[in-house]
Amino acid sequence: MKKENNDIENDNRELFTEQFITDTLEENYMPYAMSVIISRALPEIDGFKPSHRKLLYTMYKKGLLTGPRTKSANVVGETMKLNPHGDQAIYETMVRLTRDNETLLHPYVDSKGNFGKRYSRDMAFAAPRYTEVKLEKICEELFADIDKDTVDFVDNYDGTMKEPTLLPVTFPTLLVNSTEGLAVSMATKICSFNLSEVCDATCAYIDDPKVNLLDYIKAPDFSTGGYVIYKEKEMENIIENGAGSIKIRAKYRYDKKNSCIEVYEIPYTTTLEDVIDGITEIVKEGKIKDITDVRDELDLNGLKIAIDIRKTADPDSIMNKLFALTSLEQSFGCNFNVIVNGRPEVLGVRGIIDEWLKFRTTCVERKLKTEIRQKEERLHLLKGLEKILLDIDKAIKIIRETESDDLIIPNLMWGFSINEVQAEFIAEIKLRNLNKEYIIKRIDEKNSLIDSIAELKGILGSRKKLNELIKKQLREVSKKYGKPRKTDIMLEEEVVKVTKEEMIEDYKLKLFLTRDSYLKKITLVSLRSSGDQKLKEGDEIIQEVETHNKTEIMFISSKSNVYKMKVYDLPDCKASALGEYLGNTLGMDQDENIVYFVLPEDYEGWMLYAFENGKVAKVPLKAYETKTNRKKLINAYSDKSPLVNALYTPQEAEIALSSSNDRIIIINSKYIPEKPTKTSQGVQVMKLKRDYKLKYMKFAADAGFVNPRAYSIRNIPVAGAFIKDSDKPVEQLSMDLGDDADGNEEK
């Protein structure tokens, strides 16, 4: 039994071992992270990630640079000899490089079939068995002189074949085509630039490393076109540091005949489905009411998003709002993270050009050394031939008199003082070639080789000549493959900046305030077709005003507070809804109510506050105007006596006041002195006995008096006249006893 227990303990010890977490990360996670960074997600100085390089090299070796197209499935299968990933991953890599997908400014794969579109999220590419590919003509510049030892070759993953570590590109491909990658703890996002501009900038940099590259590279150039909004500081940051943000916006035209805006180029960072979804959402939310329909009209001619608008609408104004609210204008965040000599580095455009020049110079030097070596080897053979040609008869005699094949080479070496390589070359010459013409051609070739070797050595030994050779190649590339810019440049000053106010749709509406602090915002269109107003049980409408959506509104509460907001911040509702409860919207106290609201417009006029003690405060509306967007103003009026009513008078007006014993006065507000302080207690307008208080204040025109002049006064304070029978409400059957107009007690 003990033996069995010991065996179990020994087995358990073998199942796990203790290890520090830092050691585990270092031994297991770090190799994985470095592999993703170096060998997968980030591009190298030749402009390619390993997956791109392996795919293109496979196509090159298959003869697809000059031959006809082949099925994509063939290429995918062959690439798996270099890239041990699934066929779907390899095919998706190929799709991005194709002409039909329109991801690259200068595509590397000539394609036939459905490869989807960069600007469409839903347009899926066809399976590899249905599509065909070959290399584009520009790929000649990727593989130029690759067989002349310009770059290093390494074994593939199983050691069965060789593959290049880099491609000897003749122009800075890293800057010409955009690249994105997400590694472990780092990422890269490189925008594309116009090929001709990059070649010109590189040539200028060769002449002067301190040259202002902005004179040559104006802005990024994307395959999907659009406009780049030019900001000089951002571009300087990208040029020098490889970081910055570029705004791209769509291009559009207006079809006046059909009242339709046609968007035909969109930012590189979005898709037409995202744009359409964004516009649809905005229309649903009522932010833009002039759009009647939006459609995807993508066809063989390219991208097109049709936006139908009302004939009276301004297309430019609508588009400016859409630029602000949708992905029709987006930012491209640059982060030029590149693998240089096996290490990730964030480089600006200047730094990338500098590193590419070092790489390209090395490639050219290696090519020149290879050509010199090959020519010297050929010259060495011709020098041996020259010795033979001086006495051909002797050479023929040596060969004829030699008894066995294996002695011919030694005998020629001995007879003419040449080495084995030269003797082998001579022995392979056919007898028919030993004529005068052949001899003359070989002599001319020898002299040409001597001159050529001297010229190549001269270039190799001169940095200036090396630079001139690189510049010549760059100019040739620019001439052969350069294209006009697809993405136009728009100066920041030309951009119409849309404020929040301008993005808000303006329309006429009516506001209804209830006693229980519910506010209804109903459009006039909806109001015409609606029925009775729905109210909370026991509630009633105390104020209604017609206005428009962009105006400001001031709410006056029962606790001496004023709340300010824009009408457009309140949701529209229907007459059948209760409306917006202002207690929640404004964040009021539980026992606080809204008693009145004002639409200040230009803050002209006055606020009149009537208090139970018979006093009225006349405060200029300017007192509530603030420089900042403050939402709450405290101490908006005096709290010494309870508030009866508040009225806003844009100009002087006749005001009616009534006491609890039904005395009435009508006074023009110009006779009430203005108080500049909001918290002023006001002036005594109506004399009140101890047991009475002010009952209401309203505009005289709204009081409905038959003979208002009977109550009119100019001097204050007064007790007022009793209400006439003709002015009493119909339902009123009796009235409380009170003082008569002369102040005598009524009998």
Taking the CA of residue 33 as centre, how many other CA atoms within 13 Å lie in the half-sphere pointing to its CB?
Answer: 12
Given the residues 57, 60, 119, 130, the one annotated as active site: 130
Is 130 known to be catalytic?
yes
**DSSP H stretches of helix in 648-714:** 700-703
φ/ψ (deg, to 5) at 361: -60, -40
Taking the C-alpha atoms of residue 70 and residue 68, their distance in angstroms, rounded to an integer, is 7
**Could you give the dihedral angle defined by the CA atoms of residues 432, 437, 438 and 443, in that order, rounded to the nearest 10 degrees?**
160
DSSP labels for 139-153? GGGTSTTTTTT-S-E
Taking a C-beta distance cutoff of 8 angstroms, is the pair 334, 189 a contact?
yes
In sequence order, the 6+-apart residues with CB closer than 8 A to the CB of 445 are: 378, 382
181, two tokens: 């990658």
Distance in Å from the first CA to the final CA of the chain: 121
Taking the C-alpha atoms of residue 702 and residue 708, their distance in angstroms, rounded to an integer, is 11
Taking the C-alpha atoms of residue 609 and residue 525, their distance in angstroms, rounded to an integer, is 34
- Least Cα distance to 339 among 721, 40, 1, 651 occurs for 40
Length of the chain as a residue count: 747
φ/ψ (deg, to 5) at 686: -125, 125
Taking a C-beta distance cutoff of 8 angstroms, is the pair 597, 511 a contact?
yes
Amino acid at 252: Y
- Least Cα distance to 238 among 258, 214, 260, 273 occurs for 214
> Which residues make beta-bridge pairs with 346?
337
Quick one: which H or E segment has residue 182? Answer: strand 179-182
* ∠ CA 140-144-145, rounded to 5°: 155
Q: What's the distance, CA 74 to chain centroid?
A: 37
Taking the C-alpha atoms of residue 646 and residue 652, their distance in angstroms, rounded to an integer, is 15
Please give the positions annotated as active site.
Answer: 130
